[in-house]
Chains A and B, each alone.
Chain A
Amino acid sequence: MREWADFETVEGEGGPVLRVSGPLTVAGIAPLDRRLREIDALAAIDISAVTQIDTVGAWTVWRASGELDARIDGASEKATRLIQAVQKAENTAAITPHRARLLERVPEAVGERVAEMGTGVKDMVGFLGTTIAAFGSLIRHPRRFPHLALVHQIELVGVSSLGIIGLMSFLIGIVVAQQGAVQLQQFGAEIYTINLTGRLTLRELGVLMTAIMVAGRSGSAFAAQIGTMKLTEEVDAMRTIGVSPMERLVVPRILAAVLMMPVLGFYSSVIAIIGGAFIANFALDIPFWTFLSRIREVVPMTDLWVGLVKAPVFGLIVAMSGCYQGMQVSGNAEEVGLRTTLAVVQAIFMVIVLDAFFAVFFTEIGWD
């Protein structure tokens, strides 16, 4: 059972006297503190009946005596010592930095966002420039090329994502084929399920879904890794040793993403077609191998090229925004999380926007 500090007011010489009893400690002071704040006139505070006291108790007594201009009576040796200590520690500063009112804060935040958008675009272009410069200097000094880092990143971005991308693509193939077949059956045209699955996955879905997956898997990892390295001053340490973080951290990551995206995109399309063929075998009575051989006849070669041209561009965008956001981290651990989120959101958004441009472009040049 917890004990609480208590008090009673008695009339004494010169006005009311507060008699405090019980443990005047952080654990027992809460109710006393609330009641004490409501009292507006006191001549003295008698703490001779207090069983225990700590700095919180000393503070409360001292604050009340100061505010109400009251004497402190019956303080033990320890209480006196503690009261002196908290007296010296008086502090009127605010707990948190000043925050403007909501009406001022909202326009300010909006304005800041707009201004940031401008500098964000500028910084991003600047980052692209620095990256190209880093590639340039690596071409001039090929001995500095970070082979091992590149191989490691290729493993992380490419090889270790084969499982999850394969599973995702297989399921998407099933969904496209099965749902497509349901609609096409109404016209008796379910044989066109093969055209639908083949063209859709090779041209659009394979690469797009892979890019989204890579953004979530690797883009976020880039931002978090580089961001943490910035926080722990590893990036600064590299600079002072004369190792360029752009060459050592950014180049291998971007290169790995650019090289792996076409491979992963193609792999994803193939698995999606297999998924379609798999469901067609059971649901549509189109034999598995017939489905696959029909793909060759109904899908034009240009569809494959459309997918493969887009893939490295998407890889570049995902890796760039991951590395860029990572390099922007400063301050605290929260920033790493914030920047990581931003990297993924930005990457996916830009991938989808660019995909729309590509779709129109390729149709215009006759690759339809």
Chain B
Amino acid sequence: MGSERAGELIREAQGEAHKGAPEFHGEYPIVVEHITNRFGQQVVHEDLSLKVKRGEILGVVGGSGTGKSVLMRSIIGLQIPAEGEIEVLGQSITDAEEDEDIDIRSRWGVLFQGGALFSTLTVAENVEVPLKQFYPELSDELRHEIARYKVRLSGLPEEATSKYPSELSGGMKKRAGLARALALDPELLFLDEPTAGLDPIGAAGFDSLTRELADTLGLTVFLITHDLDTLYAICDRVAVLADRKVIAVGTIPELLATDHPWIQEYFNGPRGRAAEASYHRTESGTTDKAGHDGQSD
């Protein structure tokens, strides 16, 4: 598809390519090649390919049931595709050895839709779980300290540190889930609809937090969303899922230049226009989008 080539041609990922991972220096931390996913008779993905660039925030959009979450689950190894290859940080997910698997899981963080916090542990203890799992040699003091500052780094107030998930609001649960996802200082961050169910202020806060963390920590972010504001505000590129494939990848202007009916309807519908308008309002007078300094803090 024409737009796919256009996506390949876009600017370099804003000089952030050098920030991220120490060990892996490839340009594409996530490479999905020709995968097919089926559930019984139903084919969710067919010959789907996607590459995520180092240091970018890639937004993944698509109608309900187009397999956005399934794609994410395939990349993080929860769903083995029937066919095709997936490589994350230079390691194959589709035929990984058990040891390699463990290593790679310490290099990504995942935020599930509902937060998926362990309900019998406090927020800080939730953050400590991956630390204990992968780095048992850390001293208790350091582990507690890490948990504490990660909680604050995710934008939660101090009081939330020792609270149980059932005592948190929906937005705070997401932030707590983010704190746990960031526990190991991952290179990759997977976010599944992070702003769904949040109020506009909370959603905007979460967006700028994501952008700020991505810039400060040098993260590559794979972000599934329905939120047009999120796409405009923080995503470097957007991948569109439809017809069991990625039909287009690129910046929003590039996507608008394609003539796929779903993309046109998505971005030029009333909500798309409103999001675009509000984006331009906030952007005018500040830096261009590549700088991002306008939004971070």
- Taking Cβ atoms with an 8 Å cutoff, the residues of A that contact B are 23, 25-27, 29-31, 33-34, 37, 51-52, 54-56, 59-60, 63, 78, 81-82, 85-86, 88-97, 331-334
Min Cβ gap A69→B in Å is: 18
B278: chain A residues within 8 A (beta carbon): none
Cα-based distance from A92 to B158 in the complex (angstroms): 7
A-B CB contact pairs (8 Å), 30 listed: A23-B22, A25-B185, A26-B131, A26-B146, A27-B106, A29-B142, A30-B139, A31-B137, A33-B138, A51-B22, A52-B22, A85-B153, A85-B216, A85-B217, A89-B150, A89-B151, A90-B149, A90-B152, A91-B158, A91-B161, A95-B124, A95-B144, A95-B148, A95-B161, A96-B122, A96-B162, A332-B119, A332-B165, A332-B166, A333-B119
Are B185 and A86 in contact, with the CB atoms below 8 A? no
Q: Apart from A30-B142, A55-B150, A89-B153, what are 5 other A-B pairs with CB-CB below 8 Å?
A: A51-B22, A81-B216, A86-B153, A92-B158, A332-B166
Are A82 and B122 in contact, with the CB atoms below 8 A? no
Are A60 and B142 in contact, with the CB atoms below 8 A? yes
Q: Does B147 contact A (CB under 8 A)?
A: yes
Q: Is the interface of B mostly helix, strand, loop or mixed?
A: helix
Are B158 and A93 in contact, with the CB atoms below 8 A? yes
A82: chain B residues within 8 A (beta carbon): 216-217
Minimum CB distance partner of A54 in chain B: B185
The 8 closest A-B pairs by CB, nearest first: A332-B119, A89-B152, A93-B161, A54-B185, A91-B148, A30-B137, A52-B22, A95-B124
B217: chain A residues within 8 A (beta carbon): 54-55, 82, 85
Cα-based distance from A29 to B150 in the complex (angstroms): 17
Min Cβ gap B175→A in Å is: 12
Cα-based distance from A30 to B146 in the complex (angstroms): 12
Contact of B147 among A29, A30, A78, A95 (CB under 8 A): A95
Q: Does B259 contact A (CB under 8 A)?
A: no
Q: Does B288 contact A (CB under 8 A)?
A: no
Cα-based distance from A56 to B146 in the complex (angstroms): 7
Q: Which of B188-246 contact A (CB under 8 A)?
A: 216-218
Q: Does B125 contact A (CB under 8 A)?
A: yes
A60: chain B residues within 8 A (beta carbon): 142
Known: A23-B22, A26-B135, A81-B216. A92 touches B148 (CB 8 A): yes
Cα-based distance from A81 to B293 in the complex (angstroms): 13
Q: Does B145 contact A (CB under 8 A)?
A: yes
A25: chain B residues within 8 A (beta carbon): 22, 185
Cα-based distance from A96 to B162 in the complex (angstroms): 5
B166: chain A residues within 8 A (beta carbon): 331-332
Contact of A97 among B106, B120, B152, B162 (CB under 8 A): B162
B163-180 contact mask (Cβ, 8 Å, vs A): 1 or 0 = 111100000000000000
Interface size class of B (residues with CB under 8 A): 35 or more
Are B149 and A59 in contact, with the CB atoms below 8 A? yes
Cα-based distance from A9 to B151 in the complex (angstroms): 33
Cα-based distance from A30 to B137 in the complex (angstroms): 6
Contact of B159 among A26, A54, A81, A93 (CB under 8 A): A93
Cα-based distance from A37 to B153 in the complex (angstroms): 23
Known: A51-B22, A333-B119, A334-B119. A59 touches B145 (CB 8 A): yes
B146: chain A residues within 8 A (beta carbon): 26, 56, 59
Cα-based distance from A90 to B218 in the complex (angstroms): 21
Min Cβ gap A93→B in Å is: 4
Minimum CB distance partner of A89 in chain B: B152
A52: chain B residues within 8 A (beta carbon): 22
Cα-based distance from A354 to B150 in the complex (angstroms): 56
Known: A23-B22, A78-B218. A55 touches B139 (CB 8 A): no
Min Cβ gap A40→B in Å is: 16
A27: chain B residues within 8 A (beta carbon): 106, 134-135
Q: Does B184 contact A (CB under 8 A)?
A: yes
A93: chain B residues within 8 A (beta carbon): 124, 148, 151, 158-159, 161-162
Cα-based distance from A255 to B163 in the complex (angstroms): 41
A63: chain B residues within 8 A (beta carbon): 145
A26: chain B residues within 8 A (beta carbon): 131, 135, 138, 146, 184-185
Min Cβ gap B201→A in Å is: 20
Q: Does B280 contact A (CB under 8 A)?
A: no
B165: chain A residues within 8 A (beta carbon): 332
Q: Does B19 contact A (CB under 8 A)?
A: yes
Minimum CB distance partner of B120 in chain A: A334
Cα-based distance from A91 to B163 in the complex (angstroms): 14
A86: chain B residues within 8 A (beta carbon): 149, 153
B97: chain A residues within 8 A (beta carbon): none
A37: chain B residues within 8 A (beta carbon): 139, 141
Min Cβ gap A46→B in Å is: 20
Cα-based distance from A26 to B147 in the complex (angstroms): 12
Are A95 and B149 in contact, with the CB atoms below 8 A? no
Cα-based distance from A95 to B162 in the complex (angstroms): 5
Cα-based distance from A248 to B143 in the complex (angstroms): 49
Cα-based distance from A81 to B139 in the complex (angstroms): 25
B150: chain A residues within 8 A (beta carbon): 55, 89
Are B184 and A34 in contact, with the CB atoms below 8 A? no
The interface centre, meaning the residue of B106, B149, B218 with most chain A CB atoms within 10 A of its CB, is B149
Cα-based distance from A30 to B125 in the complex (angstroms): 19
Minimum CB distance partner of B121 in chain A: A96
B158: chain A residues within 8 A (beta carbon): 91-93
Are A55 and B185 in contact, with the CB atoms below 8 A? yes
Are B185 and A91 in contact, with the CB atoms below 8 A? no
The interface centre, meaning the residue of A25, A27, A54 with most chain B CB atoms within 10 A of its CB, is A27
Are B144 and A89 in contact, with the CB atoms below 8 A? no
Minimum CB distance partner of A59 in chain B: B149
Are B149 and A332 in contact, with the CB atoms below 8 A? no
Minimum CB distance partner of A91 in chain B: B148
Cα-based distance from A85 to B209 in the complex (angstroms): 12
